[in-house]
């Protein structure tokens, strides 16, 4: 069984974290909620249900949650033309594929958003599988998405590494007992990422690619076939 590299997409491979912050800010404002954008950004990377808990509180009236989430989806879709992959993102996936890694996108985006982001990333020839919000009941930081990605890769936790950009990514992978690498490109600091359980922190995926030989992703044979 080959080793598997699991990648978050938003904020890790694509520069979308602040677009999501704007979309959630506008969606919440439509329903009379005006939390600070910094608070909203701090919840980016969570599943939509957990994000609203974090921003509005768990004791809120949940009757409008679906409508707020739908508004966020519509507002984010308006931003699709401005989406771009981070420099080096596709090159990193291709190099890992060349070294023998299986590549799985462990995304909690909607299936529609994920399809758009995959076109922007333009590396489908080396992507073996992908998850979306449709694959789980609970979003990050619950481990469900990481488990779903492992299932799609037919891999055990010890055969995989996870790369993400938020503490919620790192916590989800930690709960699934998958080793974690983090990047700073989503706007979270190194201290927060390490406190969540990141074993390595790189500035961007381009920096991870440059320093690949010194990272845990250097040698897939360390993880292939392990249990």
| Euclidean distance between CA atoms 227 and 55, whole angstroms | 39
- The reported pLDDT for the residue numbered 227 is 46
Percent of the chain at pLDDT exceeding 90: 86
Whether 118 and 93 have beta carbons less than 8 Å apart is answered as no
Exposure of 103 in the CB half-sphere (CA atoms within 13 A): 21
The pair of structure tokens assigned to 112 is: 């529609």
N- to C-terminal Cα separation, the chain:
10
- CA triple 149-46-87, angle to 5 deg: 70
- The reported pLDDT for the residue numbered 39 is 96
Q: Is the pLDDT of residue 35 over 70?
A: yes
Residue 211, number of CB atoms within 10 A of its CB: 14
Domains of the chain: 4-16+83-222 (3.40.50.1000), 17-81 (1.10.150.240)
| Euclidean distance between CA atoms 201 and 216, whole angstroms | 11
**Position 226 confidence tier, pLDDT thresholds 50, 70, 90:** low
Q: Which residues contact 173 (CB under 8 A, 6 or more apart)?
A: 6, 143, 146, 162, 164, 179, 180, 197
| Euclidean distance between CA atoms 225 and 216, whole angstroms | 16
Q: Is the pLDDT of residue 66 over 90?
A: yes
Cis peptide leading into residue 141 (ω within 30°): yes
**Pick from 41, 45, 17: which is nearest to 28 by CA?**
41
Predicted TM-score (pTM) of this structure: 0.94
- The reported pLDDT for the residue numbered 136 is 82
The stretch 83-109 carries a mean pLDDT of 96
């Amino acid at each position: 069984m080959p080793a598997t590299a699991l990648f978050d997409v938003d904020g890790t491979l694509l520069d979308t974290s602040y677009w999501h912050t704007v979309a959630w800010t506008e969606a919440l404002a439509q329903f009379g909620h005006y939390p600070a954008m910094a608070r909203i950004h701090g919840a980016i990377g969570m599943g939509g249900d957990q994000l609203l808990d974090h921003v509005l509180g768990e004791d809120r009236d949940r009757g409008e949650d679906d409508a707020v989430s739908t508004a966020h989806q519509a507002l984010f879709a308006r931003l699709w033309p401005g989406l771009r992959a981070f420099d080096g993102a596709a090159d990193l996936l291709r190099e890992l594929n060349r070294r023998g890694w299986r590549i799985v996108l462990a995304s909690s985006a909607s299936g529609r958003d994920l399809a758009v982001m995959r076109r922007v990333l333009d590396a489908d020839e080396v992507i073996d599988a992908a998850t979306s919000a449709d694959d789980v009941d609970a979003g990050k930081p619950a481990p469900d998405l990481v488990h779903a990605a492992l299932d799609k890769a037919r891999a055990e936790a010890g055969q995989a590494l996870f790369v993400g950009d938020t503490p919620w990514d790192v916590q989800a992978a930690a709960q699934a007992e998958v080793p974690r690498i983090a990047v700073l490109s989503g706007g979270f600091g190194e201290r927060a990422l390490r406190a969540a359980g990141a074993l390595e922190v790189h500035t961007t995926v381009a920096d991870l690619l440059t320093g690949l030989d010194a990272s845990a992703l250097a040698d897939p044979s360390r993880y292939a076939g392990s249990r």
